[in-house]
Structures are given as C-alpha cells and as structure tokens.
Amino acid sequence: MRNKNLPIVIIILMMISGAYMIGCKEQKEKITVQKKYDRAGRVVSEVSVKDGLKHGPTRNYYENGKLHSIVNYEEGKQHGESVWYYENGKPYQVTIFVNGKQEGIQKKYYQSGELMAEIPFSNGEQQVGMKEYTESGTLITNYPEIVFEKPQRTSSPNRVVLKIHLSNNSNEVTFHQRIIASAGDTLLAAVPTKDGVGEFTFFIAKGTSTEADITIIAKTKTRLRNNYILEGIYHVKIDN
C-alpha cells in the first residue's frame, strides 16, 4: 500500500537539509574580531579573522589609544586600501594592495596633511616616476642621474671595466642590470657596488669586439627618505 505522506516527509527532509547547509555556510563565513593587548592592558590591535585567516580590516593603535593604521585583508593577503596615520589623526601613507602586492600610486603626506609624495607600484615593485612635493606644494625636481664613465682598460690585456655612479656621488645607492631572459622574462642582476660606484667587467679576446645596450636601474634615498628609482641606458662598444 502506497504511503500518501511520503512526499511530504521527503519535502520536510529537504528543507531541513537545506537549512543545515545554509547554517554551515553562515558559520564558515562568520568574521570574528580578535583583540590584542599590551602588558598594560591597552588594546594594540583589532584583527578581523575568517576561517583562521585575516579577512577585513585590521586596526592598530598607538599607546595613547589613537588609531595608527587600518590595513585591509582578504583571505590572509593584504587587499584594498590601507592607511597609516600620524598621532594627530591625519594620514601619513595610503597604499593600495592587490592580492598581497602593492599596486597603483602610493601616497605619503606631511603631518600638516599636505601631499609629500606619489610613488608608483606595479606587481609589488616600485616603478620609475616618483613625484615629491615640498610642504607648500612645489614639485621637487633636483634628483641625481646615472653617470656612465668611459670604459677603462686594465693591466690584463683582455679585461675592460665600466664604472657607474650617481651625479650627486651618493654612497647610498644600489645598482641592478635589467636583463631579458630567453623566455622573455625580465630579470634584475645586482651590479657589484662599493662606496657608491658600480662596476661592470668585460673580457674581450684579442682581435674581437663587443657591443650592447646596458640598462641600469638605480635605487637611492631622497632628502625626504623616500626610495627613488631611476633608469639609465648606456650603449657600450669596445674593440680589443
């Protein structure tokens, strides 16, 4: 004999099962805020967490309780706009992150609230083109350039040295050579540098020559203590 109540029972079971699945999903996606304290009992941070990973805003505080920074996360990685503040409440730095890497224009400010710098980033790496401003709003333009010295022969008959430095002779500098690999990837190879002077060494057999374009990326500090990236290309042609 067919049970007339069977379809109703099946529907009820489906509803219960669906409600259970929705409840599990809501529980899984629930965001909690974890507070951290210093030894004096003051709140130093409030961290939004989902499924054991930072997700949402993390708020950090100065010892006096004022807001230090708001750093946004998505599934454990910095994502979206993050802001750091002076103790007077005005922003010091505004940075955009995409999947844990800096992207776009990072902005820095003076304590007065005036714009200090605009720094371009791509895929987590600072790019050429930073702009700095005086507190009155004037664009700063007096930056150093890369100086390529004339290649010098050494006591070794097949060894030639090319030296590079900044036009302001700063010792606070690193140099890298941009190299295009066979697969098309861009690599940065460190250039040996001492006291602000980078050095390339060429070994050229007698009766031969070498010719190439060398692309150099230099990183130094500005008077405002920002990283400044500049690029220079040198066409080298050496006969031996």
Which tokens in the block code for residue 152? 């010098």
Mean pLDDT by 10 residues, the chain (240 residues): 53 48 53 95 97 97 97 98 98 98 98 98 96 98 96 90 97 95 86 96 89 95 97 91
Q: Are 117 and 131 in contact (CB under 8 A)?
A: yes
The reported pLDDT for the residue numbered 159 is 92
The reported pLDDT for the residue numbered 110 is 98
The reported pLDDT for the residue numbered 26 is 47
DSSP for 165-216?
EETT--SSEEEEEEEE-TTS-EEEEEPPEETTEEEEEEE--TT-EEEEEEEE
Beta bridge partners of 69: 60, 84
The reported pLDDT for the residue numbered 119 is 98
Over its C-alpha atoms, the chain yields an Rg (Å, rounded) of: 29
pTM of the shown model? 0.81
Beta bridge partners of 3: none
Outline which parts of the chain fall under CATH 3.90.930.1: 32-132
Architecture of the domain made up of 146-239: Sandwich (2.60)
Residue type, 69: S
Q: Are 174 and 218 in contact (CB under 8 A)?
A: yes
In the chain, count of helices (H) and strands (E)? 1, 21
User: DSSP character for 25?
Assistant: H
The 10 Å CB-count burial string (b at 16+, else e) for 105-132 is: bbbbbbeeeeebbebbbeeeebeeebeb
For domain 32-132, is the CATH number 1.10.3720.10? no
Q: Could you give the maximum distance between any two Cα atoms of the chain, in Å?
A: 108
Which single residue is written with the structure tokens 């010295």?
149
> Phi/psi of residue 107, each to 5°?
-115, 135
- Give which of 109, 167, 159 is closest to 135, Cα–Cα: 109
Strands (DSSP E) contained in 21-52 are 32-37, 43-50
Outline which parts of the chain fall under CATH 2.60.40: 146-239
- The distance of Cα 49 from the centroid of its chain, to the nearest Å, equals 24
Distances (CA, A) of 239 to 154, 157, 159, 163: 14, 12, 11, 17
The reported pLDDT for the residue numbered 84 is 98
The Cα 165–Cα 150 span in angstroms is 12
The reported pLDDT for the residue numbered 206 is 86
